[in-house]
Amino acid sequence: MNAQRSLNFRAALLSVLMLLVVLGIWYVATASSTAANSTAGMTAEQIEYAKMMGKDPGSAKSTGFPTLGQMGTTIWGHLSDPFFDRGPNDKGIAIQLGYSLGRVGLGFLLAMLVAIPLGFVIGMSPLMRKAFDPFIQVLKPISPLAWMPLALYTIKDSSASGIFVIFICSIWPMLVNTAFGVAAVKREWLNVARTLEVNPLRTAFQVILPAAAPTILTGMRISMGIAWLVIVAAEMLVGGTGIGYFVWNEWNNLSLPNVIFAIGVIGVVGMLLDLLFGQIQKMVTYVE
């Protein structure tokens, strides 16, 4: 226990040191850039000419990569009022995240409803496994975004199309892992259930499901990671509301601090989702 705590402490300390190094490099790089791009030494005519060319000397947009101070101001501005709503293209970061998480959650849930029962059928039947395998191998490698034009044409709704893309990208890891987990259940356990004349439905829920649960949760964890990756790209394509559209909209506004902030939020939310599934996976993992 003490060795594990010591390892965790040293790992945390190393992570903090790496973060400080990155921030130090950032500070040095942006400080020199800011000094080079400041209005000091510019004449009034040069400043006016820069403004006529669409540049604003001394602003965050004209200094290139934002400084740590500018990032701090941006982060505080978003976190101090995350629920504001001033129109279609001006919503708080919490609202943007809510839309994205809603789409991911609905698409993921639909994929669960299809992948887990179908995975049970495929895993329990060698005939079904061989019959479905060609279709799975053909459809699984297709990029989820490749389905977007077809979804937009048939569904004719950008939000529903995003949910469909999440469904498509989430279904394959869950389906494959569920089928593998069910097929890997020990024959001895199934033989005991058969000897005790346990009906198939009860066998599925009380023998197969607990045994395959860790593998199924692994597939769900992978699917959630892929879904969170895909929704950002999908929202950039279809627009509307969501964290992906927020990134693209802020890039169009040339607001790098907002883009970097959104990238950080995407990473933090993805990490939290992975930790959540990791904890659930530990709850169902057993030692033989």
Residue with tokens 């459809």: 139
67 in any annotated domain = no
247 in any annotated domain = yes
51 in any annotated domain = no
- Taking CB atoms within 8 Å and a gap of at least 24, the contacts of 262-268 are 262/93, 265/93, 265/97, 266/228, 266/232
168 in any annotated domain = yes
pLDDT at 60 (0 to 100): 42
228 in any annotated domain = yes
pLDDT at 265 (0 to 100): 93
- What is the mean pLDDT, run by run of 10 residues, along the chain of 288 residues? 81 91 87 56 61 53 72 89 81 90 94 94 90 92 90 87 93 94 83 77 81 91 93 85 88 87 93 93 76
Q: What is the value of pTM for the model shown? A: 0.82
pLDDT at 215 (0 to 100): 92
| CA distances, 124 to each of 119, 133, 229 (Å) | 8, 14, 32
- Residue 220 is encoded by which pair of tokens? 């769900």
Residue with tokens 């226990």: 1
127 in any annotated domain = yes
**Pairwise CA distance, residues 144 & 166, whole Å:** 8
**How many domains, in total, are found in the chain?**
1
**Amino acid at residue number 230:** V
62 in any annotated domain = no
pLDDT at 34 (0 to 100): 54
Burial class (CB in 10 A: 0-12, 13-18, 19+), 252: exposed
Give the residue among 90, 33, 25, 22 at the shortest CA–CA distance from 62.
33
Domain range holding 166? 97-284
- The CATH number for 122's domain is 1.10.3720.10
**Pairwise CA distance, residues 176 & 3, whole Å:** 37
242 contact partners, CB below 8 Å, separation of at least 6: 96, 99, 100, 103, 162, 231, 235
pLDDT at 164 (0 to 100): 93
**Pairwise CA distance, residues 99 & 128, whole Å:** 38
225 in any annotated domain = yes
